Amino acid sequence: MVIVKRATLDDKPAIYKFIQIAYENRWQYKIPERWQWEFVENPFLPDQLLPVWIAVEEDGRVVGQTCALVEPLKIGDEIHRVGWSVDTFLLPEYRGQGIGFQLQKANDEGNEIFMSLSMSKANRRIKAGLGSVPIDPVPAFTRLARYTPESIRAAIADRLSRGNDALKRIIILLFHLLFLDRLCSSLLNIQVHLQDRRQLPYLDENIALSRIDIFDQEINLLWDKVSPKFYAIVKRDDVYLNWKYVQQPYADYFKYIARRN
């Protein structure tokens, strides 16, 4: 019999074993550093309870989990806590038994506000069944600063092979042997450079960028000035920004402050 419960630190060894099975070649980016940062050392947890819910077999094996990345959310003039649904996974042999629904229900009920940015179709159905409603699409802006031969080979091979792994390997090999990957990346990088040059005349000379290691109290002045203009926004003060962009493992962020005059 499988039970669903909120995890404690005593469950950590069993959870780590589950993650190694569930995430195969990616588990080393989930544990132990990121797990500790995300669910234990998070300064915005409302209590000492882990934002992690697990499905456990009678022998103590963890067979499924769902977690929440908790962040401070300003709505109007009040600060709330939002739990972003993350790291939901149920071992294939336990699917179709309602365990996934129980996990998501526990996660939903364990957070003041429960949200999710991306999810599988099965997770979307479960969340809809729990009463979650879709909101407007969230745009994501990506800028490729530099193309590499490896990225060119991978992108073209994925498009041309259409899921045929053997054909994909042949395309990658041909592009490498014929120097096409290096030629394409060079041409694209020239295009990026020219685009950047065209933007230079529009730069404000009164704005200076300085790279920083941590966010200090100065950033709170910006937050106090800007935040009233937003009805709903994650609280971006020095505590949040340092936790998210300085202390986060496996992510090396470059941090800058822009100052005018």
Residues 158 and 109 in one domain: no
The letter for the amino acid at 89 is: F
H helices of the chain, in order, are 12-22, 33-39, 99-109, 121-129, 149-161, 165-177, 180-199, 218-226, 238-245
Cβ pair 258, 239 in contact under 8 A: no
Q: How confident is the model at residue 31 (pLDDT cuts 50, 70, 90)?
A: very high
Specify if 142 maps to a domain. no
Specify if 166 maps to a domain. yes
Q: How far is 113 from 162, CA to CA, in rounded Å?
A: 40
Q: How far is 55 from 204, CA to CA, in rounded Å?
A: 55
Specify if 92 maps to a domain. yes
Specify if 244 maps to a domain. yes
As a whole number, the mean pLDDT across the chain is 93
The DSSP bridge partners found for residue 70 are 83
Range of the domain at 92: 3-129
Q: Residue 261 pLDDT more than 90?
A: no
* pLDDT tens per residue, range 206-259: 999 999 999 999 999 999 999 999 999 999 999 999 999 999 998 899 999 999
Q: Residue 3 pLDDT more than 90?
A: yes
Q: How far is 183 from 189, CA to CA, in rounded Å?
A: 10
Specify if 253 maps to a domain. yes
Residues 197 and 222 in one domain: no
35: nearest Cα among 17, 59, 55, 47: 17
Q: Looking at residue 174, what is its pLDDT?
A: 86
Q: Looking at residue 255, what is its pLDDT?
A: 96
- Mean pLDDT computed over 41-48: 90
Residues 162 and 87 in one domain: no
Q: Looking at residue 154, what is its pLDDT?
A: 87
* pLDDT tens per residue, range 176-191: 888 888 999 999 999 9
Residues 76 and 184 in one domain: no
Residues 178 and 222 in one domain: no
Residues 179 and 224 in one domain: no
- Mean pLDDT computed over 44-60: 93
Q: Looking at residue 8, what is its pLDDT?
A: 95
Q: How far is 61 from 27, CA to CA, in rounded Å?
A: 17
- How much of the chain exceeds pLDDT 90, in percent? 70
Cβ pair 53, 82 in contact under 8 A: no
The total domain count for the chain is 3
Specify if 256 maps to a domain. yes
- Mean pLDDT computed over 99-126: 92
Q: How confident is the model at residue 76 (pLDDT cuts 50, 70, 90)?
A: very high
Q: How confident is the model at residue 15 (pLDDT cuts 50, 70, 90)?
A: very high
18: nearest Cα among 53, 59, 72, 61: 61
Q: How far is 150 from 129, CA to CA, in rounded Å?
A: 42
Specify if 21 maps to a domain. yes
Q: Residue 66 pLDDT more than 90?
A: yes
CATH of the domain at 50: 3.40.630.30
Residues 77 and 14 in one domain: yes
Residues 12 and 124 in one domain: yes
Residues 92 and 112 in one domain: yes
Residues 92 and 15 in one domain: yes
Specify if 250 maps to a domain. yes
Q: Looking at residue 122, what is its pLDDT?
A: 86
Residues 198 and 221 in one domain: no
Q: Residue 48 pLDDT more than 90?
A: no
Q: Looking at residue 63, what is its pLDDT?
A: 97
Residues 196 and 250 in one domain: no
**Cis peptide, bond prior to residue 137, ω within 30 of zero:** no
* pLDDT tens per residue, range 133-173: 998 888 889 888 889 999 888 888 888 888 788 888 888 88
